[in-house]
Chains A and B, each alone.
Chain A
């Protein structure tokens, strides 16, 4: 089973990298961009019988720092 873990910064946490990307997009003439937030995508391949609680523990204990980040799990075919 393949999983995608999408890790994003919590709302309100300042994102200097997102701001720099925003600035660069504006510099390329993309004036319609109102905000940019940078996150990360982690792809896992796990045993088919891996339950949601185990995946949740992986995210909480390592893949995301829940002080500053949120995460969501997407199951892929």
Chain B
């Protein structure tokens, strides 16, 4: 399985994602700088990491979403290449129009940095094959803008189509319908605020996040 990790100025989870992907797939991902205009040939998965791309200027993820490499990511997503956005990566994917809705300031206004319990709402995706539907997992979050917003019709449609992959199982940030992770209509793009790459080794306090990467590796054979 061939993977790539996008690196923006201000990304800070790119190396963690790379380590998690290498551990699961056996091959180190290609790191792709934001100014690049092409992705590696025959890439199966593009990961957009967490951090504070461009200092969160204007809106979280807004400038990164208009960077040269994102045009290539949008094209790849349109061809069916899997795209995973974590935390700031999720914000970038919504700003780029690859996922509906927007991520706003947390309802409590505080930066939330702690382990949270999630419910796996849909285990029948290439990203969530390592889980069982309805299962509770523990994964850390670390964000200021994770409050997912979309209009009621969009939220109904997302839920009806099984596009909510993960839900918070506790109060975290005021996110609509408890949405923590969301798929696009084709199912090949996942954005999530929690950080699975920070929960991949026993020394991290658990390995619930590792199963996302192992599930992906299994999905791509």
A interface list, Cβ under 8 A from B: 13-14, 16-17, 20, 61-63, 65, 67-68
Q: How many residues of B contact A (CB 8 A)?
A: 19
B132 within 8 A of A: no
B108 within 8 A of A: yes
B residues within 8 A CB of A20?
109
Residue contact A62 to B105, C-beta cutoff 8 Å:
no
Query: Which of B58-66, B80-88, B158-166 touches A?
Result: B58-66
Interface of B is mostly: loop
B residues within 8 A CB of A14?
104, 107, 147, 149, 174
A residues within 8 A CB of B62?
62, 65
B residues within 8 A CB of A62?
58, 62, 66
Could you count the A-B residue pairs with CB atoms below 8 Å apart for me: how many are there?
A: 36
B interface list, Cβ under 8 A from A: 58-59, 62, 66, 94-95, 100-102, 104-109, 147, 149-150, 174
Give the CA-CA distance A61 to B149 in the complex, in Å.
Answer: 19
Closest chain A residue to B101, Cβ basis: A67
Give the CA-CA distance A63 to B105 in the complex, in Å.
Answer: 17
Out of B94, B100, B109, name the residue touching A17 (CB < 8 Å). B109
A residues within 8 A CB of B94?
67
A residues within 8 A CB of B109?
16-17, 20
B residues within 8 A CB of A61?
66
Closest chain B residue to A40, Cβ basis: B58
Distance (whole angstroms) from the CB of B183 to the closest CB of chain A: 17
B residues within 8 A CB of A17?
105, 109
Give the CA-CA distance A68 to B147 in the complex, in Å.
Answer: 12
Residue contact A63 to B58, C-beta cutoff 8 Å:
yes
Closest chain B residue to A12, Cβ basis: B151
Residue contact A68 to B102, C-beta cutoff 8 Å:
yes
